[in-house]
Structure 1
Amino acid sequence: MRKEFTDQSKLIARYRNYLKLEKGLSPNSVEAYMLDLSKMLTFLEMENIPLLELQLEHMDQFAAFVIDLGIGARSLARILSGVRQFYQYLVVDGYIENNPTELVDSPRIPQHLPEVLSTAEVDILEQAIDLSKWEGHRNRAIIEVLFSCGLRVSELTHLKMSNLHLDEEFIRVIGKGSKERLVPISQRAIRELEFWFADRNVMNIKPGEENYVFLNRRGHHLTRTMVLIMIKKYAQQAGIRKTISPHTLRHSFATALLEGGADLRSIQAMLGHESIVTTEIYTHLDTSSLRRQILEHHPRNIHHHSPQPNPDDSETLLQ
């Protein structure tokens, strides 16, 4: 028996609570879902379509409406996914019997493989840091932790001292949806952290900020923007021509693991991906690297290419 529907605003409020409490999404993720849903609600109001009477054929009209707003294929796919989840919630909660959006096809999204850095390029990036400056050891520790642990930048900025288990060589990370995972940490990253802690221990840390690992000179924890600006600055100083961000180091972490022989399930667990499909992008990265190696080194291809630069030449690391 269908649940009685009387107040749309109350229903939307219940859905918000469902995302927050039952799905365990972060406040930012909840707001993103609600913003996408608001586009559907606007469309339904414009077309005078009752919320519970949406039909599959209406979805093509909705997609056209979203495209007319200037929204691209990737964002459209995300919005349609959110709408599907909302109507599935209505099924589960007893408002409708069938999800009218189940058979909606998402737009094809051109796959742009992310930039990655080799280990040598990460070394060059770290070498660009002036360790005589106050923030030098902190910034080197940031880069090394991002590369060694594959953290999202938000996970790094919220990393707590109480979540470091350096004697056991792992850290506890709070990821999306407040989900926890344990990630191994390298001896190199531990050493860089210890150098930073020597500086951190003499800081004047603001009340309430004492548990954050990475702080600015005023004793507050870092923001995502501060980390982004810092990494871009060092990349420019190091002569790295790739367009990189903190997320580049996460991609580099995963790619290095795959090239080193790690299986996708292990990489998925360390990255905190909910779905293995998200992790599978790294198989494309590895295939791209394999193709390049074949073109450069297979005897049937070598005579078609000009001689390769000396691999010891640091310039080749920046291509």
Structure 2
Amino acid sequence: MKSFFRFLKENYPAYGFYSLIESPKFQKTIPTVFTVAETEKFLASIETDSIIGIRDYCLFELIYSCGLRNSEAGNLLLDNVKLEQRLLIVNGKGRKERLVPFGGRASKALQNYIKLRALQHELRISKCRNLFTTLQGSKLSSREILFRFRYYADKAGLTGCSVHTLRHSCATHMLKGGADICMISRFLGHSSITTTQIYTHVDEQMLREAHYKYFPVNVISRT
């Protein structure tokens, strides 16, 4: 539709009716986030006594700790993992590449999974270079990742959430921990800081605490 009106504007400027038509404005909704306790509950619901469990724990730990999109996690290659430097090379939206650090827990999960993955692929003679794969040795799709997420979310008793909730939670927890909004924007691979600023509206408890601590009337009433 946008392209059609652009065509009219460029080829039939005399009519000018297009100036009377406004583009619809969509209000950005505040994303759903897990508390730290809910995130831990979700990850704890993944039993790591099988190759699938070890893979899934590594997958969702990485999505949370690195703030990855579903597609970014699914598209990760073995070569994108730099274990010694604790860095991921992530190919994001618009084929933009970024470096994302990960911590000790994610590093341990990656090491455990990559060892088992190597054995699994050796037995099946799979040449797939994707980090996260099925038992048959093919790439784990976004749909399969979503299916696995829903399974564990139901198991943990968490509702109204999606894979993206882990990414939103990562950003919100970083913000609450004191991270700079510009740094979070780079970390998430946002093209504009405007996209990241939605997280400043997420944590109501953080806002209440700030209001209680800094609003003059509250300060006076405590003295």
2:120 counterpart of 1:203: yes
2:46 counterpart of 1:129: yes
Structure 1's 206 and 274: CA in aligned 2 closer, same or farther, altered over 3 A? farther
Residue aligning to 2:173:
256
Structure 1's 153 and 56: CA in aligned 2 closer, same or farther, altered over 3 A? farther
Bigger mean CA offset, 265-274 vs 200-209: 200-209
Cα separation, 2, equivalents of 1:295 and 1:202: 54
Cα separation, 2, equivalents of 1:291 and 1:167: 38
Structure 1's 118 and 206: CA in aligned 2 closer, same or farther, altered over 3 A? farther
Residue aligning to 2:17:
57
Where does structure 2 lack aligned partners over 5 or more consecutive residues? Answer: 219-223
Q: Match for 1:289 among 205, 210, 213?
A: 205
TM-score where L is the length of structure 1:
0.60
For the residue of structure 2 that corresponds to 1:172, the secondary structure is strand
Structure 1's 53 and 143: CA in aligned 2 closer, same or farther, altered over 3 A? same
Q: Match for 1:149 among 55, 58, 66?
A: 66
Cα separation, 2, equivalents of 1:146 and 1:252: 10
2:151 counterpart of 1:233: yes
Alignment of 1:1-319 (within 5 A): 37=2, 40=4, 49=8, 52-54=11-13, 57-61=17-21, 106-204=23-121, 207-209=126-128, 211-241=129-159, 243-286=160-203, 288-293=204-209
2:176–2:206 contact (8 Å) kept in structure 1: no
1:206–1:220 contact (8 Å) kept in structure 2: no
Shift of 1:57: 3.2
Q: Which runs of 4+ in 1 moved over 6 A?
A: 294-297
Shift of 1:276: 0.8
What do the CA deviations read for 1:134-169 (whole angstroms, capped 9, x no partner)?
300100001100010001111100111111111111
Cα separation, 2, equivalents of 1:240 and 1:296: 30
2:55–2:132 contact (8 Å) kept in structure 1: yes
Query: Number of residues paired by the alignment?
Result: 213
Higher relative contact order (CA 8 A, sep 6+): 2
For the residue of structure 1 that corresponds to 2:191, the secondary structure is coil
Cα separation, 2, equivalents of 1:202 and 1:208: 13
Cα separation, 2, equivalents of 1:239 and 1:124: 9
1:150–1:254 contact (8 Å) kept in structure 2: yes
TM-score where L is the length of structure 2:
0.84
Cα separation, 2, equivalents of 1:52 and 1:125: 55
Cα separation, 1, equivalents of 2:198 and 2:9: 39
Where does structure 1 lack aligned partners over 5 or more consecutive residues? Answer: 1-35, 64-105, 302-319
Shift of 1:291: 3.7
Rg larger in structure: 1
1:124–1:238 contact (8 Å) kept in structure 2: yes
Residue aligning to 1:83:
none
Structure 1's 293 and 220: CA in aligned 2 closer, same or farther, altered over 3 A? same
Shift of 1:51: 5.0
1:149–1:184 contact (8 Å) kept in structure 2: yes
CA RMSD of aligned residues (A): 2.8
Shift of 1:60: 4.0
